[in-house]
Amino acid sequence: MTPLFRSTSGFARYAWGVLAFNVAVVLWGAVVRATNSGAGCGRHWPACNGDVMPELASNELLIELTHRATSGIALLLVVVMMAWAWRAFPAGHRVRRGAALSTGLIFVEALLGAGLVLFELVAGDKSAFRAFSMAAHLANTFLLLGALTLTGWWASGGGEVRVRGRGPLGAVLLTAVGATILVGATGAVTALGDTLFPKTTVGFELSPTAHFLERLRIVHPLLAIGTSVYITVVAWMVRRARPSPATRRLATVLTTLFAMQVAAGVINIALRVPLWMQLTHLFLADCVWIALVLTTASALQEHPAEAPSKSAYPVPPRPAAV
């Protein structure tokens, strides 16, 4: 009897592919928000306007339906990844943990998306509850992308990540992770404000009579600039404390991407947040997050290895024919 899954090198490629697909789904989700298409299927989920295959009567419906379809494909891809991990790796292996965490988080992601529709936190809704939901959605998205990143990295030979015994390095890296999630969450709220209250000037609205989403616009860029400075210092610490070539390269990539992200944010504001620039800004944010997760994992791994041997990928023995 032939096993369904055997190649762990193939698993690593698949895991990285699932990560890339989920990044694409996240970007299309931004298109849904920016085009006010969240209500394209009405207050129905998972059906669209009460139908499984509705008539494509509007652009909003097409955009929302496409997002739902790609999100469903992403969920199936992650479930297959978990099944493959359970077949290709032994009990207790870190790849199994990463795949299981990814599966749990993508189900939470689906529930959060469904909640936005069922509670009508879409289209023109300007409530604080919607703003909080968008921030929570973004935080979970980052956690999902982080879990997928770790799964791919572990499947590619990355070592077990240990925070204890790493001195101050573990604390500063975890702080960087938390700060980056916070920056992303405030960015989601800012993007919502930009959609509901299109910018007509380059500056920020600070009038007490303005809507709270308009007044909150200034929070995200300030946090982003402060976090970029902190990340630069952390990357310098990582290069000194963990001078392996791979970790040094990742730290350099991280600081470069964060600088590009801040520059993209400035351009986004200057151009008054056109859709293409919003997507560029979000894509860079995802890249920064993935680079930070990889840098943290590489710096804190238990047994750093630049070129792991094939023995790092244990495959269960082929079952005997019945």
117-126, 168-177, 243-252, range with the lowest pLDDT: 117-126
Q: Does 103 or 44 have the greater pLDDT score? A: 103
pLDDT band at 8 (very low <50, low <70, confident <90, very high): low
Provide mean pLDDT across the span 61-88.
Answer: 94
Q: Does 41 or 134 have the greater pLDDT score? A: 134
* pLDDT for the residue numbered 4: 41
pLDDT at 39 over 60: yes
pLDDT at 307 over 70: no
* pLDDT for the residue numbered 50: 64
* pLDDT for the residue numbered 317: 45
- Which phi and psi angles does 48 have, rounded to 5°? -120, 115
Provide mean pLDDT across the span 27-52.
Answer: 78
Predicted confidence (pLDDT) per residue in 256-283, tens digit: 999 999 999 999 988 988 999 999 999 9
pLDDT band at 120 (very low <50, low <70, confident <90, very high): confident
pLDDT at 311 over 80: no
Q: Where are the domains of the chain?
A: 1-157, 160-306
* pLDDT for the residue numbered 52: 64
* pLDDT for the residue numbered 303: 54
Predicted confidence (pLDDT) per residue in 196-231, tens digit: 888 777 667 677 778 989 889 899 999 999 999 999
DSSP 51: B
96-100, 173-177, 255-259, 312-316, range with the lowest pLDDT: 312-316
Helix and strand counts by DSSP (H, E) for the chain: 9, 0
Q: What is the mean pLDDT of the chain?
A: 86
- Residue 253's contacts (CB-CB under 8 Å, 6 or more residues apart) are 291, 295
- Alpha-carbon gap, residue 179 to 228, rounded angstroms: 10
- Residue 109's contacts (CB-CB under 8 Å, 6 or more residues apart) are 71, 137, 140, 141, 144
Provide mean pLDDT across the span 174-183.
Answer: 96
* pLDDT for the residue numbered 203: 67
Provide mean pLDDT across the span 91-111.
Answer: 96
